Amino acid sequence: MVETKQQTFPRCLLAHGTVRGERPAFREKYLGIWQAWTWGQVNAEVRALACGLAAIGFRRGMHLAIIGDNRPRLYWAMLAAQALGGVPVPLYQDAPAADMAFVLDNAEIHYAIVEDQEQVDKLLELRAANPALAHIIYEDERGMRHYAQPGLQSYAQLQALGRAHDAAHPDFYLAEVAAGQASDPAIILYTSGTTGKPKGVVQSHAALLAAGAGGVGFDQLSEREDVLSYLPMAWVGDCLFSLAQAMTAGFTVNCPESGETVMTDMREIGPTYYFAPPRVFENLLTQVMIRMEDASRIKRAMFDYFMAVARRVGADILDGKAVPAGERLRYALGNLLVYGPLKNVLGMSRIRVAYTAGAAIGPDLFRFYRSIGVNLKQLYGSTETCAYVCLQPDGQIKFDSVGLPAPGVEVRLADNGEVLVKSPATMDGYYKRPDATAEVIDAQGYFHTGDAGMFDHEGHLRIIDRAADVGRLNQGAMFAPNYIENKLKFFPFIKEAVAFGHGRDMVCAFINIDMEAVGNWAERRGIAYAGYTDLAGNSATYELIRECVEKVNADLAGEDLMAATQVQRFLVLHKELDPDDDELTRTRKVRRKFIADKYALLIEALYSGKSSQFISTEVKFEDGRRGSISADLRIVDARSFAAVGKAA
């Protein structure tokens, strides 16, 4: 671990090159083969790129857009921009050109380094309206042979230019790195924009490295860790794990070949340190359950038996608590026959620490992974706090909390229950938005997270929901939609859920089915279907989802605070909620207000007692075309249960 006080990312890079120059810093799988670069090699690559950027006019204070999948050369582009005193601005690679336009304009982007032809095409389309975008550098040269637009060049060409510049000015690079200050902006990360236009969060080197050093020390991470870098580079979670912590501890960042090969690549790398949002853990569990549906009766019986053992004692064994010898023996046998092979299939055999964040994770999902021996923990934070507010200490894991305040972080609750944070990892502010900055950082330096929370008797923070989303039913019961939705999404058949209830007499919900899980379930029962809309509207599918909803209701009945918010009516949407249709953010957070407005007709049908409602919805296709999906949606009632008076 390098000393991060008064450091910058480029100076950390130089230190790693000196201390552990021969150790692997990055790996990437390309054409089925893993390639590795040592810290010494990465230093040389970044130096050449930085000098190349300087040769084409990139200067201190400028912003560099970075767009693409997780690639070592794109991380090096971040470091190269920082070495010159510039600021990298990563964008979501799956965003259409129109969505990128706002960020390019707001961040005043003149230079961009992108992955491939697809991203080049987007930027060339936008350059007509944004001529300031003068330089576009592409890493992957496939398909680019006949492109001759001005300002367009390959990554390799830029590095060659940089090496020539470095030879002519041998003192330039180190002088630029030395000129950087810890207080300089290190990156601008744009928020997901759940309630409006995205805002650019400006984070300094000091803030990011404070978060990185805090997490590294907390979990005793070392240069020996392997992390899989596959989440969007524009997301703060990846920035924390694959940049801030990697540049602090000096561990190895591994980039998969593509989004489709992540699971295979994960099994090959066997990361020791892993991070994923709840939806990834949900999807992995869904795949496990689908495989068990197809397994023989003997295998299913063995799986069910040993998972029952794991649920009883697995988490306690992981936490080092006392467990009867007989149960330990049964668990050890289960590890040999079930848990070990299962972790191997999931690529989790070597995981020492795993984290999830970005949204609340259902307790049952959390319990499943810990029960099979995966040290899954929660962290809590936001883009504005470098994803560094609360962490769960080993041996003090609570399924319904996000842990204790992280080292160096102060957390308190406002009178209305909103979580307030004071931390060295808090942002400098929103780019060109002093008004918005003043709204969330008060005179005492506390960042107002917008989340509603409470502390338990041991000081662990429990997040209830977004403060703006927490409401009341007409009879006065607290309504926390995200809490209900996460319980619903624990079931492998439910991919997404949106609950309604504020200012209403009861709770109702929209459901998105998981096409893979429900499709597999339907095929095993000989149920024919023509596509998502057909399967979603099938009466058998409705009965399947009704069972899931009623199990959630039974669970909610045992929670004092939530017993009155059981789901009374629901419908299965005729289409999947999609970021391209503006229903979800790029990080797959629900845009509640947009959905409420777009599907107001369906909400009214739920609450007016109708048994069905016709709707036609406009959709966007990946190639930019527009179309519509129409269906007559069934609306059904779900059984609710009397409160049993159990403490929440």
Tell me the two tokens of residue 158: 């830029």
Tell me the two tokens of residue 460: 């662990």
Distance CA 186, CA 201 (A): 11
Tell me the two tokens of residue 581: 């249709």
Tell whether the model's pLDDT for residue 4 goes beyond 70: no
pLDDT digits (tens, 9 = 90+) for 21-39: 999 999 999 999 999 999 9
pLDDT digits (tens, 9 = 90+) for 372-382: 999 999 999 99
Sketch the domain layout of the chain as residue ranges: 9-275, 407-468, 471-637
Residue type, 323: V
Cβ partners under 8 Å of residue 269, min gap 6: 27, 34, 226, 228, 254, 347
- CA atoms within 13 Å, Cβ hemisphere of 25: 30
Residue carrying structure tokens 């030879």: 167
pLDDT digits (tens, 9 = 90+) for 118-149: 999 999 999 988 889 999 999 999 999 999 99
Tell whether the model's pLDDT for residue 648 goes beyond 60: no
Distance CA 462, CA 452 (A): 9
Model confidence pTM above 0.85: no
Residue 211: name the closest of 17, 400, 25, 357 by CA: 357
At the top level of CATH, the class of 407-468 is mainly beta
Tell me the two tokens of residue 453: 């929370």
Distance CA 101, CA 125 (A): 10
Pairing of strands 447-455, 461-466: antiparallel
Whole-number Cα distances in Å, 241 to 73, 127, 205, 235, 458: 17, 33, 15, 11, 28
Contact assessment for residue 422 and residue 445, using Cβ atoms and an 8 Å cutoff = yes
The topology under which CATH files domain 471-637 is GMP Synthetase; Chain A, domain 3 (3.30.300)
Distance CA 353, CA 523 (A): 37
Annotate 377-411 with DSSP letters as a single string. Answer: EEEE--GGGTT-SEEPPTT---TT---EEPTT-EE
Lowest-pLDDT range, 2-11, 229-238, 438-447, 539-548? 2-11
Tell whether the model's pLDDT for residue 560 goes beyond 80: no
Q: What is the SS3 assignment for 273-318? A: EEECCHHHHHHHHHHHHHHHHHCCHHHHHHHHHHHHHHHHHHHHHH
Most confident of 244-258, 469-483, 581-595, 606-620: 244-258
pLDDT digits (tens, 9 = 90+) for 438-477: 999 999 999 999 988 889 889 999 887 777 788 899 999 9
Tell whether the model's pLDDT for residue 327 goes beyond 90: yes
Tell whether the model's pLDDT for residue 637 goes beyond 90: yes
Residue 51: name the closest of 187, 167, 133, 186 by CA: 167
Instruction: Describe the strand order of the beta sheet including 447-455 as a list of residue ranges.
Output: 410-413, 418-422, 447-455, 461-466
Tell me the two tokens of residue 24: 């692997």
Q: Which residues face 404 on adjacent strands?
A: 391
Distance CA 470, CA 489 (A): 19
Tell me the two tokens of residue 249: 């501890």
Q: At 239, is the secondary structure helix, strand, or coil? A: helix
Look at residue 6 in the predicted model and tell me its pLDDT. Answer: 64
Look at residue 262 in the predicted model and tell me its pLDDT. Answer: 92
CATH architecture of 9-275: 3-Layer(aba) Sandwich (3.40)
- Sign, CA dihedral 572-576-578-582, equals negative
Distance CA 71, CA 48 (A): 17
Q: How confident is the model at residue 181 (pLDDT cuts 50, 70, 90)?
A: very high
Look at residue 647 in the predicted model and tell me its pLDDT. Answer: 42
Look at residue 469 in the predicted model and tell me its pLDDT. Answer: 83
Mean pLDDT of 288-302: 86
Distance CA 492, CA 203 (A): 37
What is the C-alpha R_g of the chain? Answer: 25
